[in-house]
Amino acid sequence: MQTPYRDDSSLSTVGWVSYILHLIVAVAAVIPTAQASILLLLLAFILDMVKRGDAVGSWHESHFSWRIRSVVWAGLLYLITAPLWLFFIVPGWIAWAAISIWFLYRIVLGMVRMNRHQPV
């Protein structure tokens, strides 16, 4: 049985575009005065969801899952900690800062691994 042709350069391009969009949002989340549009994150998320099937069986597959899980977990954590902003501003700020730093860490780690052509 022959394996279907896989265009790894295309997957790399999609991966880098997605990581860069994630990075813009992650850096803006860590810097208090910076603002990045949630649309950039949604665009990257949709791109990852659509192209994830093309990466099945390659080292790129883990990167698609990594980015998708990062967004989902960060979103859930932001939602869970949102009530802190209503009652306790400082703990809310600390929680959101910690989530943002964690998200930035995951994106940078993914980019480093992708640059080395390694799964995450």
Q: 64-86: per-residue pLDDT in tens?
A: 999 999 999 999 999 999 888 78
Cβ contacts of 63 within 8 Å, gap of 6 or more = 15, 55, 110, 113, 114, 119, 120
- For residue 3, pLDDT over 70 is answered with no
> CA distances (Å), 55 to each of 15, 31, 51, 95, in order?
10, 33, 7, 34
Q: What percent of the chain has pLDDT over 90?
A: 70
